[in-house]
Structures are given as C-alpha cells and as structure tokens.
Amino acid sequence: MTTLTRRSLLGLSLAAPALMLSAQSALAKEPETYAENGVAIDGSDAVAYFDGNGPVAGTAAHSVTWKGAEWRFASAENAAKFKADPMAYAPQFGGYCAFAASRGYLAPTTPEAWTIYEGKLYLNANLRARELWLQDVPGNIAKGEANWPGILG
C-alpha cells in the first residue's frame, strides 16, 4: 500500500506545473498560415478576391514568400500589391477556416468558400461552413478573434 505524506504531496504539486509545461512544449504548434505543401490558399491569387473575381489561380512565376508560405498571383501587378501590404490582402485567421476559428478549432479551407467583409478576406472549409459563417458574420468574427491565435496550439 502506498502512503502519501505531506512532503510527497508537496513534491508532486511542485512538479506538476513543470511537467505540464514540458508536455505543452513537446506538442507541435500549427503554422500561423494554412498552406498545403507550402502554398497558401491552394495557389489562388489573394488580391484577385478583392477585385470580385473570387478564386483566380496564381502561378509560381508571380509568387511572394510571406509568413512561412508561398503566395501565388495571376500577375506581377497583384504580387507587387500583396508584397507592399500583405495584411490588406491575406485571409484572416491565417487562411484557416474562419467558421472553425469561431468555434475554437482549426480546419483547412477551399478557395471557393470565401467572403469579403469590411475589407477583409475570410475563407471557409467548404460551402456549407460558409453558409453557417454568413448567418452571423460579426459574431463569428468576434468569436474567432477571441480564439486566435491560441488555437494554433
């Protein structure tokens, strides 16, 4: 039979926080930018969304590296616009699904499920998630911002 003394309980209580910290640091943190094979937005031109064109394929010839990902553009002009002010064009929540972020978790996105709201680009995992997102965009943004970037791990 094991008997716990005050001294052993004190030792355990002091060791627990250190064990928790080391366990947390051992967990892999998700990248700040969602990028399949290192390419953000599945290679879509982030600037083109703001022209009302939706997802337009970018090319490697017109690419910019930012926040650990390759961002592709349909033209040198769009690449230059992005490079000059990436925060104006990059999707919110690192390009992860905005609806998932509002619920406290990460999900990949598809370029076709997008919304421009108050001058910012939001992507969703699929068209159904976009429908749910659109039911309360301001509320979902507030919830997502409260969860971000803590949900990266």
User: What is the pTM (predicted TM-score) of this model?
Assistant: 0.81
**Does residue 2 register a pLDDT over 50?**
no
pLDDT at 27: 54
**Does residue 43 register a pLDDT over 70?**
yes
pLDDT at 9: 39
Residue whose tokens read 């749910």: 132
**Does residue 71 register a pLDDT over 90?**
yes
CA dihedral sign, ordered 30, 112, 42, 65: negative
Q: Which of 4-8, 56-60, 85-89 has the lowest mean pLDDT?
A: 4-8
Q: Where are the domains of the chain?
A: 32-86, 91-153
pLDDT at 24: 39
